[in-house]
């Protein structure tokens, strides 16, 4: 089995998992090509290859299951069994082994993606004319079509995973930025220590944080959420500070004449006074959050709508591209709508801007 | 002017008032009985910058406990500035301020300032606004609500306790601001044109109610206004300011029983006198502004 991760830029549906070669000679040639250095190839490196071990000293195990619980054609099974029994006659010592493969067995997971990719590409054709397909490929296409939830549910799962990341990122970024912003104005030392860095990082595009996200969190939910947080944090912190500086002087003066301490002035006056502005900033930055999460997902940091876009690109599937674009648009709109509703509920004192303008 | 040297004295010596500059920090005997004492108070905004602006110069003013003093003066003469200094929200750049024998160094709940612009917290209900200072002080919620209700009743808005500030009219909001100040039972009530935005009829009603509140509370009131009618209606003493820098031009005591008839000959004479005093200053201010190099 060739490991698709061994090649850069694996493309689902194009790269395939399968036998390396049919004869030992083929395999030997391939091995030489893979392991050997070629001066004309800029990617190839002159790495030492382990000295060949005499075959008598090799410990060889054979799993009739092939380990992965994959269905095998009877002819393949017979052929392999015959080959193994021939080898048993030779100098080689072969033991039977049937290990418990851990659920994380990488190839098994990638196979499912492979199948899905094939199903996406050839599903309709396979259903119409299965006889045109090699039975193995046909089986993979079929497995891809049967695998996973039904299409509508798959859309919901995918969208939900992306929405979850956006939400988590928004909440973390909001809490962090309000905390940092308030602390900046509250403690002069904190301002001296952090504000230059924040101001320095604010203009940096969130995309450049992608490698950092992968270094720190690998793949999965965490790096995608990190990307959302990083896309929002610096701008929102700077806006928080601007909002604090813009709080009506009279509000602060009232608090002071009423005997409020510095802490009370912050918690009772400044924080509520900046909330409406912060929610507006949040709404403005919602789009940045969506962009960041899609970038993270499309670069393989996780499944989700961004990955679907990338899959659609790699499989030349325009209808999937446009469907996903529409879905992202609708979701972004709904998010903004939800935030507006939240603003109306939570910040009941903020006048509804459009009401006064409607009469014009 | 942009040097970092001592704050310019703006000719105190020339005016022969340097005596106030040499005052020691020990409280003078008189101050413990006065609600507010200003001695040679001056305020220079943005000293040492090109935007330096002398707002007040050598203000001497005593306000007795329970006295109702009105500040009258042309726009920009420093009336609000003086209130900020007495409230302790700003530091004087010259002279000293005292309140009941203590130096004014920081804001205190004893001296409530009602601002020129509406300053109710929009995120709190009317009742919570009135109770704000009480909750800062640590009163229990029940005690807060009771006090807030009482203060609101005194300004005739007991029914509005659960409303939001933006549901009220401008006049009602200023009454809530008065209630918020009263709830703290201040000894000095500093009011910066609280009724400036109201129409004449409403303002007249507000004056009546303010006088009731003042009598019931025993607080001293320092009330800023542009309106001569208002000054004549409410004041024990009217302090007329000069245009910039603000100085005390004249103090006019009003010895008429309340409620006062605004059409009585005495009120008429007072109005004429105050109008004349103020008109001089407004004329002077305009002449000065026109003389400014373009
Ligand atoms: N925070 C400030 N910084 C700098 N200058 C100020 C500040 N506040 C007021 N001034 C200036 O001080 C002068 C007096 O202002 P102040 O607000 O006390 O006037 P006022 O008598 O209350 O006027 P009005 O009747 O229009 O309210 C004005 O010329 C104003 O420009
Ligand atoms: Mg003013």
Q: Which ranges of B155-253 would DSSP assign to H, the alpha helix? A: 170-183, 200-217, 228-234
State the average pLDDT over residues A145-153.
Answer: 74
* pLDDT grade for B19, boundaries at 50, 70 and 90: very low
In the prediction, which pLDDT does A334 show? 92
Q: Give the tens place of pLDDT for each residue, A286-309.
A: 888 888 898 888 876 667 888 888
3-state helix, strand, coil in chain B (%, to 5): 40, 20, 40
CA distance B153 to B156: 5
pLDDT of A244 reads 93
Cα of A313 to nearest chain B Cα, Å: 49
B193 in contact with A, Cβ within 8 Å: no
Distance from the A239 Cα atom to the nearest Cα atom in chain B, whole angstroms:
21
**CA B243 to centroid of ligand 1, rounded, Å:** 11
What integer pLDDT is reported at residue B135 of this predicted model? 92
Q: What are phi and psi of B59, to 5 degrees?
A: -90, 125
A251/chain B closest Cα distance in angstroms: 6
Locate the chain B residue with the closest alpha carbon to A252. B119
Query: Residue B5 has what pLDDT?
Result: 43
Distance CA A223, CA A212 (A): 9
* Closest CA in chain B for residue A348: B123
In the sheet that holds B36-45, the strands lie side by side as B53-63, B36-45, B94-99, B102-103
Q: What is the pLDDT of residue A70?
A: 63
Q: What is the pLDDT of residue A339?
A: 87
Answer yes or no: is the C-beta of B190 below 6 A from any ligand 1 atom. Answer: no
Q: ipTM > 0.85?
A: no
For residue B224, count other CB atoms closer than 10 A to its CB: 25
| Whole-number Å distance between alpha carbons of A161 and A148 | 15
Tell me which residues of chain B, numbers 78 to 137, contact chain A at a CB-CB cutoff of 8 Å.
87-89, 106-109, 111-113, 115, 117, 119, 121-123, 132-133, 136-137
How confident is residue B69, by pLDDT bands cut at 50, 70 and 90? very high
Q: Please give the DSSP secondary-structure letter assigned to residue A69.
A: T
Closest-CA distance of chain A to residue B17, Å: 31
Point out which residues pair with A231 in neighbouring strands.
none
pLDDT of residue A240: 92
| Ligand 1 atom closest to the CA of B46, numbered from 1 | 4
Alpha carbon B214 to its chain centroid, in Å, reads 14
- DSSP lists the bridge partners of residue B68 as B221
Confidence of residue A9 (pLDDT cuts 50, 70, 90): very low
More confident residue, B89 or B213: B89
Regarding pTM above 0.80, the answer is: no
Task: Compute the distance between CA of residue B293 and CA of residue A174 in angstroms, rounded to an integer.
Answer: 51
A252 at B interface, C-beta within 8 A: no
For the cut 60, the answer to whether the pLDDT of residue A227 exceeds it is yes
Separation of CA B80 and ligand 2 centre (Å): 4
User: Pick from A151, A240, A157, A150: which is nearest to A194 by CA?
Assistant: A240
Average pLDDT score over residue span B143-172: 88
Nearest CA among B199, B263, B209 for reference residue B232: B263
* Ligand 1 contact via B51 beta carbon (within 6 Å): no
Ligand with smallest separation from the Cα of B72: 1
Query: Scanning every residue of chain B, which has its alpha carbon at the shortest distance from the alpha carbon of A256?
Result: B107
**Hey, is the C-beta of A133 within 8 angstroms of any chain B C-beta?**
no
Whether residue B43 has its Cβ less than 6 Å from ligand 1: no
**Residue A358 Cα, ligand 2 centroid: separation in angstroms?**
35
Q: Which two tokens stand for residue B19?
A: 């005596």
**Mean of the pLDDT values across residues A7-16?**
47
pLDDT at position A101: 66
The pLDDT tens digits for B233-290 are 889 999 999 887 888 998 989 888 888 888 899 889 999 999 988 888 888 777 777 7
> Of B42, B50, B56, B77, which is best to mutate to test ligand 1, by the most ligand atoms within 8 angstroms of its C-beta?
B77
pLDDT at position A331, please?
A: 92
Q: Which chain A residue lies closest to B182 (C-alpha atoms)?
A: A258
Position B182 scores a pLDDT of 85
Adjacent-strand bridge partners of B102: B99
Per-residue model confidence as pLDDT tens digits over B91-102 = 999 999 999 888
Nearest to B251 by CA among B72, B76, B80: B72
What is the maximum alpha-carbon separation in chain A? 99
Task: Provide the 3-class DSSP secondary structure of residue A93.
Answer: strand
B294 lines ligand 1 (CB under 6 A): no
Distance (Å) from CA B166 to ligand 2 centroid: 23
Contact B69, B63 (CB under 8 A): yes
Sign of the torsion formed by the C-alpha atoms of B121, B122, B123 and B129:
positive
Q: What is the CA radius of gyration of chain B?
A: 20
Mean pLDDT of A281-290: 87
Give the per-residue pLDDT at A3: 37
Q: For residue B216, name the pLDDT band (cuts at 50, 70, 90).
A: confident
H or E element that contains B253 = strand B248-253
Any atom of ligand 1 within 6 Å of the Cβ of B81 = yes
What would the mean pLDDT of A271-279 be, rounded to a whole number? 89
DSSP E strand stretches across B17-169: 36-45, 53-63, 68-72, 94-99, 102-103, 111-114
C-alpha B80 to ligand 1 mean position (Å): 7
What are the φ and ψ backbone dihedral angles of B189, each rounded to 5 degrees?
Answer: -110, 115
Tell me the backbone φ, ψ of residue A71, rounded to 5 degrees: -70, 140
Higher pLDDT, A219 or A181: A181
Specify the higher pLDDT residue, A168 or B32.
A168
The runs of H, that is alpha helices, within chain A are 24-35, 74-89, 106-128, 135-146, 151-186, 188-201, 210-217, 221-245, 249-257, 262-264, 271-296, 305-314, 318-346, 353-358
């Amino acid at each position: 089995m060739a490991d698709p991760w061994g090649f850069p830029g694996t493309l689902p549906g194009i790269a395939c998992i399968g036998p390396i070669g049919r004869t030992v000679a083929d395999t030997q040639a391939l091995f030489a090509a893979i392991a050997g250095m070629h001066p004309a190839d800029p990617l190839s490196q002159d790495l030492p290859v382990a000295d060949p071990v005499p075959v008598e000293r090799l410990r060889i195990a054979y799993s009739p299951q092939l380990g992965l619980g994959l269905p095998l054609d009877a002819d393949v099974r017979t052929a392999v069994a015959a080959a193994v029994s021939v080898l048993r006659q030779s100098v080689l010592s072969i033991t039977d082994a049937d290990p418990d493969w851990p659920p994380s067995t990488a190839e098994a997971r990638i196979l499912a993606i492979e199948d899905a990719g094939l199903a996406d590409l050839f599903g309709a054709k396979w259903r119409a004319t299965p006889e045109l397909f090699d039975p193995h490929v046909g089986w993979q296409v079929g497995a891809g079509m049967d695998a996973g939830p039904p299409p509508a549910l798959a859309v919901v799962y995918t969208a939900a995973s992306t929405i979850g990341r956006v939400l988590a990122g928004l909440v973390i970024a909001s809490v962090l930025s309000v905390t940092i912003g308030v602390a900046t104005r509250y403690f002069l030392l904190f301002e001296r220590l952090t504000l230059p860095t924040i101001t320095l990082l604010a203009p940096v595009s969130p995309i450049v944080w992608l490698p950092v996200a992968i270094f720190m969190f690998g793949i999965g939910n965490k790096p995608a959420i990190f990307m959302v947080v990083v896309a929002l944090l610096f701008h929102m912190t700077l806006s928080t500070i601007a909002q604090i500086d813009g709080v009506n002087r009279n509000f602060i003066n009232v608090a002071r004449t009423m005997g409020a301490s510095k802490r009370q002035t912050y918690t009772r006056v400044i924080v509520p006074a900046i909330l409406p502005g912060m929610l507006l900033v949040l709404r403005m930055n919602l789009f940045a959050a969506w962009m960041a999460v899609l970038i993270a997902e499309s670069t393989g940091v996780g499944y989700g709508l961004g990955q679907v876009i990338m899959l659609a690109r790699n499989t030349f599937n325009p209808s999937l591209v446009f469907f996903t674009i529409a879905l992202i648009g609708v979701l972004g709109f709904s998010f903004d709508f939800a935030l507006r509703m939240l603003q109306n509920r939570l910040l009941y004192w903020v006048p509804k801007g459009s009401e006064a303008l409607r009469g014009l | 002017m942009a040097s970092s040297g001592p704050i310019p004295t703006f000719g105190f010596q020339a005016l022969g008032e340097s005596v106030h500059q040499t005052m020691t920090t020990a409280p003078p005997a008189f101050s413990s009985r006065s609600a507010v004492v200003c001695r040679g108070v001056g305020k220079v905004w943005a000293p040492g910058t090109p935007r330096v602006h002398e707002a007040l110069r050598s203000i001497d003013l005593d306000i007795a406990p329970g006295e109702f003093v009105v500040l009258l003066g042309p726009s920009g003469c420093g009336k609000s500035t003086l209130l900020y200094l007495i409230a302790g929200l700003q530091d004087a750049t010259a002279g000293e301020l005292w309140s009941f024998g203590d130096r004014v160094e920081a804001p205190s709940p004893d001296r409530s300032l009602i601002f020129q612009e509406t300053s109710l917290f929009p995120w709190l209900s009317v009742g919570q606004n009135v109770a704000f200072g009480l909750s800062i002080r640590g009163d229990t919620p029940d005690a807060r609500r009771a006090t807030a209700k009482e203060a609101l009743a005194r300004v005739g808005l007991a029914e509005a306790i659960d409303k939001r500030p933006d549901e009220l009219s401008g006049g009602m909001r200023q009454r809530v601001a008065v209630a918020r100040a009263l709830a703290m039972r201040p000894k000095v009530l500093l009011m910066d044109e609280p009724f400036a935005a109201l129409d004449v009829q409403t303002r007249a009603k507000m004056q009546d109610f303010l006088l009731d509140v003042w009598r019931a509370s025993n607080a001293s009131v320092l009330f800023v206004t542009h309106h001569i009618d208002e000054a004549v209606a409410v004041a024990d003493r009217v302090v007329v300011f000069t245009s910039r820098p603000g100085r005390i031009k004249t103090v006019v005591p009003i010895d008429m029983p309340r409620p006062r008839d605004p059409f009585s000959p005495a009120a008429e004479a007072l109005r004429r006198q105050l109008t004349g005093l103020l008109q001089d200053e407004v004329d002077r201010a305009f002449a000065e502004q026109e003389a400014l190099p373009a």
